[in-house]
Homo-oligomer: A and B are copies of this chain.
Amino acid sequence: MGSKCSCCACHLCLFEYQTPVMLVISSKRLGFLFRLIELLIIAYVVVYVCWYQRAYQDQDSVISSVSTKVKGNILTNSSVEGVHVWDVSEYVIPPQGENSFFVLTNMIVTPGQTQSSCPEIPSEFTNCKSDSDCKEGFNEIRGNGVQTGRCVQYSDTIKTCEVMSWCPLENDTIIPKPALLSAAEDFTVLIKNNIQYPKFSFRKRNILHHINSTYLKNCTFNRKTDPHCPIFRLGDIVTEAGEDFSVIALKGGIIGIFIDWSCNLDFSEHFCIPKYSFSRLDNKNPENNVAPGNNFRYAKYYKNNESIETRTLIKGFGIRFDVMVFGKAGKFHIVPTIVNLGATLAFLSLVTAVCDWFMLTCMKDRDYAKHKFIHPDKKGDGVPLSSMESTSYGTP
């Protein structure tokens, strides 16, 4: 029988079917345990993996393009500049950003700077008593220029080292309070955002289909009444981020405008709509803060009648709004489905292991082990099962 069999292994391979022999035990306790664990695993798969985690979906990340347009004017009346109306091209710097825009809210203006020499701003590094305290050519990293080696009067009582630099130097110890452009709170910004999920050939923009031009001309975003209007009042953004505009306007800050495009593309695309949220990104905590807020210096250059270059230096404080578009779209796909179901199926094999252990340990009185385990080799060579089997149907 064995030799006959081996010569046609290939043939057998195709026309034979192997299935495990199962021991069926009629036990309410065991049966209940078995089905309970099975049910738990299946429920977990259905509820958690499929419904909650949507593990059956293939995912794609969003590709986005953003453009922004700020609107508004401010009239200021400062001692240095007089009456001045600020428009977009002055307070949005740079005029065009890719995913972020900066709105000037406060500033220290130093007009009429030229390349010359002047006394340093007093500090522990720059105060002096005589020329010997200053060093020609010395370039203090926290200073404002290159020292000439002379010690000169800064004010009636204070002497500081003279430096070559753009003079007069900016004195940024006193920040205007309230912020000069605190009325920027009422500015509005239109955010145009086009997204795509290339894997699913899906494109959409944040100006939804049902929105018409008349509505767009007059609406302002409001989480309750106008949740789909793409025009935001700066003050509302800052308030939703949990900040006070008049406070953040003083020293500046960074606010994140998050646009969440998470979508389940197994449903209609009408349900795929952007969700806006706002939060402050930089640290407002005053402790441990070097250079708190958000500011930078920029200058406007002029040439006067004698062709000498002068400049107006501006230390601008303001709010940088970073538009962050994120989101994942999911759509049914066979590979993640199989990977996740397969992994869960593998766990079903654990059920048998648990129940076997329960059966062999807790139901010892029935001695199921004798039925489950067959020991052909036990006690050597009595009447092996094989011979019995041979007897039974091996040799009819």
For A24-57 the 0/1 string (1 means CB < 8 A from B) is 1111101111110000000000001100010100
Flag if B298 contacts A95 (CB, 8 Å). yes
Flag if A378 contacts B394 (CB, 8 Å). yes
Q: A303–B90 Cα gap in the complex (Å)?
A: 16
Could you say which residues of chain B place their CB within 8 Å of the CB of A115? 83-85
Flag if A288 contacts B216 (CB, 8 Å). yes
Q: State which of A138-146, A171-179, A267-275 sits at the interface with chain B.
A: A138-146
Flag if B17 contacts A282 (CB, 8 Å). no
Q: Closest CB of chain B to A79's CB: distance in Å?
A: 16
Q: Is A158 in contact with chain B by the CB < 8 A criterion?
A: no
A-B contact pairs, 9 of them (CB 8 A): A14-B28, A63-B326, A72-B141, A92-B296, A93-B96, A98-B100, A345-B346, A346-B346, A381-B396
Q: Which of A304-322 contact B (CB under 8 A)?
A: 304-305, 307, 310, 313, 320, 322
Q: A193–B230 Cα gap in the complex (Å)?
A: 28
Question: Among the listed B94, B355, B381, B386, which residue makes an inter-chain contact with A17, where contact means beta carbons less than 8 Å apart?
Answer: B355
Q: Is A247 in contact with chain B by the CB < 8 A criterion?
A: no
Q: A305–B303 Cα gap in the complex (Å)?
A: 10
Could you say which residues of chain B place their CB within 8 Å of the CB of A334? 48
By beta carbon, the residue of chain B nearest A279 is B196
A75 in contact with B164 given A67-B320, A294-B67 (CB within 8 Å) = yes
Q: State which of A126-134, A149-157, A206-214, A236-244 sits at the interface with chain B.
A: A206-214
By beta carbon, the residue of chain B nearest A17 is B30
Q: Which of A342, A390, A394 has the most CB of B within 10 A?
A: A342
A55 in contact with B87 given A14-B32, A22-B21, A296-B69 (CB within 8 Å) = no
For A267-307 the 0/1 string (1 means CB < 8 A from B) is 00000000000000111000111110010111111111101
Q: Is A19 in contact with chain B by the CB < 8 A criterion?
A: yes
A373 in contact with B88 given A335-B53, A356-B19, A367-B386 (CB within 8 Å) = no
By beta carbon, the residue of chain B nearest A300 is B301
Flag if A288 contacts B207 (CB, 8 Å). yes
A256 in contact with B65 given A26-B378, A205-B283, A302-B301 (CB within 8 Å) = yes
